[in-house]
């Protein structure tokens, strides 16, 4: 989308290469660009996630582009609307994905409100996704770079939140983005991308969570009911996890197949493709359609994790079960608390949160 009237875009600047190149592309397209650095976490002295370093990188890019950089602190909103729910889900034995809630509550709710105060016509982020306005309907499409596509994290949005959103790098590959940043003289052109949430992705997950939730040792049980090991707290593990179990012995590796936080018990199976790791059904809640509602049952493809393969499925509803998804073929490690996102080829239809599974 090219600006014909010097419209103003506020770009969420994270200090990373993706948002930096997004700002540069918008300038080239004729927009009046303002950068906004969002601080979403109050750091302790020993925190590895340094907002100060990211802010410095964002400032360096804005100086090169000769655009202003504003800052805003959303730490309170993040704690209240994202992090407390993250802890609550963990404690209940689920595996939450707070990045998705952050997009709904912070990046596409609080951020646009602040952007409007700065006179914005649009807001932009460095997500690898595309927005299509053809045929009078707004649609969210996968990014061109299939390895970096981030529509999985955006399924919780609705048309209203995307009407004035721009994703400038959705038509580029990561390699093209880094090359563009290098050509522009951005020192962050080869900066390592963030993995998940900053405050979790750059530190030891268990030691971090232990600041907020108490964990106690429990038993690991095999399918025959035998105790085969000990764990540090059932809520710290996720379905399909291999590392951190500490179970030795002959044969294939052991994987988490289930957990019961009420008894602080993990259930483990031997072998990557053990049948107990696979599910034919996912029972879901919080179904969100992005641009239109669909009649059910609805054939689609589903992604049960960010890096997962699209799975052929049928989205259904019944009075007894509520919303549920039936997979054409059983899917490995479908995890309660994670999101399931639905697609029709490139089109992201929406998604839901996985509550439980079945066969």
**Enzyme catalytic residues:** 102, 198
Give yes or no for a contact between 40 and 111, defined as CB atoms under 8 angstroms apart.
no
Q: Distance between CA atoms of 60 and 57, rounded to whole angstroms?
A: 5
225: exposed, middle or buried (Cβ count in 10 Å: 0-12, 13-18, 19+): exposed
CA nearest to 327, candidates 312, 337, 348: 312
Give yes or no for a contact between 155 and 288, defined as CB atoms under 8 angstroms apart.
yes
Q: Distance between CA atoms of 137 and 87, rounded to whole angstroms?
A: 37
Give yes or no for a contact between 70 and 118, defined as CB atoms under 8 angstroms apart.
yes
Q: Distance between CA atoms of 72 and 10, rounded to whole angstroms?
A: 13
Sole residue written with tokens 């660009």: 33
Q: Distance between CA atoms of 87 and 98, rounded to whole angstroms?
A: 10
Residue 78 pairs in a beta bridge with none
**Looking at beta carbons, which pairs linking 224-228 to residues 24 or more positions away fall under 8 Å?**
228/254, 228/268
SS3 string, 186-229, reads CHHHHCCCCCCCHHHHCCCHHHHHCCCCCCCCEEEECCCCCEEE
Give me the helices (H) in the chain, please: 17-28, 51-65, 75-78, 84-91, 98-102, 111-117, 159-162, 174-183, 198-201, 205-209
Tokens, residue 330: 């059983």
Sole residue written with tokens 């429990």: 218
């Amino acid at each position: 989308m090219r600006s014909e009237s010097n419209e103003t875009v506020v770009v969420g600047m994270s200090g990373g290469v993706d948002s930096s190149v997004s700002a540069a592309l918008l300038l080239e397209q004729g927009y009046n660009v303002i950068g906004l650095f969002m601080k979403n976490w109050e750091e302790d002295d020993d925190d590895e996630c340094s907002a100060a370093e990211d802010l410095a990188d964002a400032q360096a890019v804005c100086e090169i582009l000769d655009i202003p950089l504003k800052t805003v602190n959303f730490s309170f909103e993040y704690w209240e609307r994202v992090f407390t729910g993250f802890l609550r889900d963990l404690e209940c034995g689920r595996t939450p994905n707070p990045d998705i809630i952050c997009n709904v509550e912070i990046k596409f709710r609080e951020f646009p409100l602040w952007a409007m105060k700065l006179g914005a016509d649009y807001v932009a982020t460095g997500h690898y996704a595309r927005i299509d306005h053809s045929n009078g309907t707004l649609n969210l499409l996968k990014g061109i770079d299939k390895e970096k596509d981030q529509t999985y994290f955006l399924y919780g949005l609705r048309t209203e939140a995307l009407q004035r959103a721009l994703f400038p790098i959705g038509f580029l590959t990561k390699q093209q983005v880094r090359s563009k940043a290098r050509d522009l003289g951005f020192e962050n052109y080869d900066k390592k991308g963030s993995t998940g949430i900053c405050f979790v992705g750059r530190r030891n997950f268990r030691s971090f969570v232990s600041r907020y939730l108490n964990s106690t040792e429990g038993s690991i049980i095999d399918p025959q009911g035998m105790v085969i090991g000990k764990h540090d707290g059932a809520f710290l593990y996720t379905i399909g996890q291999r590392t951190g179990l500490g179970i030795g012995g002959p044969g294939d590796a052991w994987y988490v197949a289930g957990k019961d936080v009420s008894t602080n018990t993990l259930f483990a199976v031997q072998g990557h493709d053990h049948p107990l790791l696979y599910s034919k059904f996912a029972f879901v809640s919080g179904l969100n359609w992005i641009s239109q509602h669909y009649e059910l049952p609805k054939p689609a493809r589903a992604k049960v994790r960010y890096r997962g393969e699209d799975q052929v499925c049928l989205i259904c509803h019944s009075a007894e079960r509520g919303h549920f998804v039936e997979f054409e073929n059983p899917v490995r490690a479908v995890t309660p608390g994670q999101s399931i996102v639905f697609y029709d080829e490139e089109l992201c239809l929406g998604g839901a949160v996985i509550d439980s599974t079945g066969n």
